[in-house]
Chain A
Amino acid sequence: MNNISKRVFMKELVSYKKRSSTYLSPIVFFLITLSLYPLALSNDPNDLALLAPGITWICVLLSTLLSIQNIFNEDYEDGSLDIFFSLRSTTLSLVLIKILVNWIFSSLPIIILSSTVVFLLFLPPESLTILLISLLLGTPVISLFGALAGALSLGKSSILGPAIVLPLSLPVLILGTASVSSFLNGEDPTFYFLLLLAIFIFLLPLICYACIGALRLHYE
């Protein structure tokens, strides 16, 4: 990691740490929505256990949406992006660092808190590991879509963000839910994990370069 990348990384970490609403809002939203399902749907543990993977994944997707939009917007507004481009450092490092730090602060706490579905939605404890692996593989892809939405909607309203992220995230949602459901039905979830991993590996360079293109387009 060169000196500039290191400083971008440190600035991102410090900045996110200071903006507690960025990571606290998704956590609070996640816990509230998760706890509403047993009240609204059913209090039968068997019914809830059956729905738990889908409900958890929907809550994770909606919660991360709160923080992944406009991840470049603040840097654009305060002039940090201008300064970054003036240094002629590789924009790829900026995009990767932004996505990584965003994932650490917006998705990782939610993944950890997903363990609560064992108590709230009666998910069988033995399938918790499968749920956590599916989230660890799926949420980075959602962060990638969030970065793309952020780069495309630079300096514009945030309505474009969910409109891009939600439809694109549907395959991840389906595969993530299917992995846990298949395990509950006694099947091997490895196929779904490999698919999620393949999606991430395929999209990582593609979306990073799309983000760079969208950012540069804004400066032309």
Chain B
Amino acid sequence: MLKVDNLSYAYSDKYLFENLGFHLDIKTIIKISGSNGSGKSTFLKNIAGILKNYEGNIYFKDENIKDMSFPNIFYTGHRNGFKNNLTIKENLNNDLRARDLNLNNVKKYFSSFGCDISFSSLLGNYSEGQKKKVLLSLLAASQADLYVLDEPFSNLDAKGIDYLNNVFEKKINDGSSIIFTSHENQGQKFKEINIDDYKNE
């Protein structure tokens, strides 16, 4: 589904990573690990098409991702793309990532994450962890071929982490693939790529 071929990215003439390459098959999860500032988020932005000035190639469904329009990819970075001055419902209804979103589904996933807050209240009134759960409920209710997620496990409590693992499993069973970054130790559950291995010191 996703093929990363000899990918290198330089920032201010200094390479963050060089000659990174791997295959992400359908129904697979890959975890990207690495030290702070190693370029994990940058790499995800390369895949999501936000930063295109990389060397090498990224193919999604055998097509160069640079030339694709509207690929069915769900991306979320450090910043969630929500607006604090809007209600949770307004944020979800107008979110660009959600195609044919059913708000009742999002509510269902949201309560499964152990949250019980009103969707008509302002998002800015809630903690970062609760905002993360809103985002992950949106993710759970969405339908994408590839999920590109930057630190999805951060700011989550134990129940949230357990539930997110269940969501990952469901997405894989539905035929999606996931690539995510994380500092947390998830054991041997996911195939792992350490971006520090692609640094040329």
Point out residues on A near B: beta carbons under 8 Å. 3-4, 7-8, 10-11, 14-15, 18-19, 74, 77-80, 82-89, 219-220
Contact = CB atoms under 8 A, between A and B. Distances in A.
A101 to B, nearest CB: 13
Nearest to A8: B96
Contacts of B83: 11, 15, 74, 78, 80
A80 B81 contact: yes
Contacts of B97: 83, 87
6 contacts: A11-B83, A82-B48, A83-B75, A86-B49, A86-B73, A88-B71
A155 B156 CA distance: 28
Contacts of A79: 76-81
Contacts of A80: 81, 83, 96
Interface of B: 45, 48-53, 68-71, 73, 75-86, 90, 93-97, 99, 148
A219 B11 CA distance: 11
A82 B96 contact: no
A77 B48 contact: no
> For the complex, would chain B's binding face be called helix, strand, loop or mixed by DSSP majority?
loop
B50 A86 contact: yes
Nearest to B91: A11
Contact of B81 (A15, A82, A88, A89): A82
B86 A14 contact: yes
Given A11-B94, A82-B45, A220 B50 contact: no
A7 B96 CA distance: 7
A169 to B, nearest CB: 29
A86 B48 contact: yes
Nearest to A4: B96
A187 to B, nearest CB: 48
Contact of A82 (B77, B82, B93, B95): B77
Contacts of B71: 88
Given A19-B85, A220-B53, A10 B94 contact: yes
B80 A78 contact: yes
A89 B90 CA distance: 21
Given A10-B94, A83-B81, A86-B75, 16 more contacts: A11-B83, A11-B96, A14-B90, A15-B85, A78-B83, A79-B78, A80-B81, A80-B83, A80-B96, A82-B45, A85-B49, A88-B69, A89-B69, A89-B70, A89-B96, A220-B52
A3 B77 CA distance: 22
A82 B90 contact: no
Contacts of B81: 78-80, 82-83
B90 to A, nearest CB: 5
A15 B97 CA distance: 17
Contacts of A74: 83
